[in-house]
Structure 1
Amino acid sequence: MDKEILRRQLLDKRSVMRGPDVDSMSRSIVETIMSLEQWSRAEEVLLYWPIRNEVDVRPLLMDAWDSGKKLFMPCCRRNEPGQMDFGVVRAEADLTAGSFGIKEPCRTRCDFPDAVSPDLVIVPGVGFDRKGFRIGFGGGYYDRFLARPQKDGFLSVGVCYDFQLVEGFPIEPWDKNVQLVCTDKELIWQK
């Protein structure tokens, strides 16, 4: 199936989700991630701020702060499509309205190290397949990040609702898959 058509269909379906459904399914995903040994062990994590009924990972942000993990969040570069920097966020007050209406690290309050190599990365998506390939918004932001060399023990986790788990979309040579897909119903590890 054409990726753009599938992207629109999945976004339409996600946009009509009711708040209680978003909360319930997101809670299931968050609890599963928090039960992973890799989450407990991680000293540095990369998370995102959810928009438009994305999986609400804000409890992971709170847990990261409470447990002393170093928390990175993406910040899109203005006038450089597809490029992100990563700021160290110590509290929600460090966030500001950024690109695409997404809260992101404030460039004047947060540190932006030259090299970022977290132990665990939570990756949002419009859809994922069972091999960990994703449909995003088409900008290639996370593909560029996942293509970088990562440290030993690095784990990339794609999060989506069960209905966003789809097959049969084209995979481009530059697409990078995640190592684990977590839905509200299952965990899918890559071999």
Structure 2
Amino acid sequence: MDKNEIRRSLQVQRERLSKSEVESMSREIVFSVQSLAEWKKAREVLLYWPIKNEVDVTPLFHDALESGKKIFLPCCRKDEPGIMDFGVVRAEEDLLHGSFGIKEPCRSKCEFPDVVSPDIMIIPGVGFDRRGYRIGFGGGYYDRFLARPQKSILLAVGVCYSFQIIDEITVEAWDKPVQSICTDKDIIWPE
């Protein structure tokens, strides 16, 4: 199967999950992320706001708020497909429904620094392979961000349900792997 066929198949499986399955599996994934030394010592974290039965990482958002971490969330640029800016979010009230129905940082309430180099990034995906490569929704947003010249990011962590781990994804020149993947069953460390 090509990437589009894999994407469609995995999206259908994810859409069929019940609310309780999403909650249960997401809870295990959040525990896995919280068990990482890099999460515990991170001062700056990049998260996302879940949609369409994605892994619910909102407990990580609240954990980061409570522990005083600086939180970045993506905000899609209007009229520039594939480009995201990252706003510093200090409360859930700083978020508005933006592109694709996703909660995003409000541009008038949040700071949007030119350089964003979090200690840890939590990245969603429609699917991942064991090498750390991902299939997203197809817009290339995270690949573009990962390809930017930046200060070092301590760890880029993909999060997904165990059924979203596939044997191998065909890789394009612009694809960038994550260094770790947390699922509801295990933590994968690609070589």
TM range (shorter): over 0.9
CA distance in 1, matches of 2:35, 2:172: 33
- The one-character-per-residue Cα deviations of 1:138-178 (angstroms, maximum 9, x if unpaired) are 11100011112343461000000000001233111110000
Which residue of structure 1 lines up, in the alignment, with residue 44 of structure 2?
A: 44
The structure 1 segments of at least 4 consecutive aligned residues displaced by more than 4 Å after TM superposition are none
For residues 152 and 109 of structure 1, the distance between their equivalents in structure 2, rounded to whole angstroms, comes to 27
* 1:28-64 deviations in Å (ceiling 9; x for gaps): 0001111111001000000000001000000000000
Give the aligned CA root-mean-square deviation in angstroms: 0.9
Residue 167 in 1 paired to residue 167 in 2?
Answer: yes
Say whether 1:54 aligns with 2:54: yes
1:40–1:5 CA distance, 2 compared to 1 (3 A): same
Q: Report the counterpart of residue 179 of structure 1 in structure 2.
A: 179
CA distance in 2 between partners of 1:152 and 1:3 (Å):
29
Return the alpha-carbon distance in structure 1 between the equivalents of residues 150 and 22 of structure 2. Answer: 31
**Distance in 2 of aligned mates of 1:152 and 1:104:** 24
Alignment of 1:80 onto 2:76? no
In structure 2, what is the equivalent of residue 90 of structure 1? Answer: 90
Equivalent residue pairs, number: 191
**Deviations along 1:40-90, whole A, 9 cap, x unmatched?**
100000000000100000000000000000000000001101100000000
> 2-side partners of 1:34 and 1:114: how far apart?
28
Contact 1:39–1:120 (Cα < 8 Å) also in 2:
yes
TM-score of the superposed pair, with normalisation by structure 2: 0.98
CA contact (8 A) 2:117 2:153 kept: no
Question: Is contact 2:117–2:152 with CA below 8 Å preserved after alignment?
Answer: no
Work out the CA distance in 2 between the residues paired with 1:56 and 1:131: 23
Rounded to whole Å, the distance in 2 between the matches of 1:127 and 1:188 is 13
Rounded to whole Å, the distance in 2 between the matches of 1:91 and 1:19 is 25
SS at structure 2 position matched to 1:45:
strand
Work out the percentage of aligned pairs sharing the same amino acid: 64
**Cross-structure match for 1:148:** 148
Q: What CA distance in whole angstroms lies between the structure 1 residues aligned with 2:189 and 2:168?
A: 19
Q: Distance in 1 between matches of 2:133 and 2:122?
A: 14
| Cα distance in 2 between the residues matched to 1:18 and 1:153 | 34
State the SS of the aligned residue for 2:87: strand
Task: Find the residue that maps to 1:20 and give its secondary structure.
Answer: helix
Amino acid at match of 1:82: G
Any gaps of 5 or more consecutive residues in structure 1?
A: none
